[in-house]
Amino acid sequence: MTLLFIIALFANDIEVNNQLVNAKEIFISSVAIGELFYNARKSGRSQGNLERIEEFIARNTVIGCDVAS
């Protein structure tokens, strides 16, 4: 579900953008980031998609995937 949410965000989905407009912080799992990178590398616009992911990571908090999380 998280991956679909991020893809909708990247596609400028109005409902997703409205939900995030007042968010002070956005947290995303490292697993979802890995899925984004995987799919970006398979896409026809991999360089542009990789840049978008890097920008997304820079603006948000990535949380690790371990027993505590």
Q: What is the pLDDT of residue 36?
A: 92
Q: How many residues does this entry show for the chain? A: 69
Superfamily of domain 2-63, CATH level 4: 5'-nuclease (3.40.50.1010)
SS3 63: strand
pLDDT tens, per residue, the chain with 69 residues: 577 888 888 888 898 888 888 888 989 999 999 999 999 999 999 999 999 999 999 999 999 988 876
SS (H, E, C) the chain: CHHHHHHHHHCCCHHHHHHHCCCCCCEEEHHHHHHHHHHHHHCCCHHHHHHHHHHHHHHCEEECCCCCC
Pseudo-torsion of CA 51, 5, 39, 46, nearest 10°?
-30
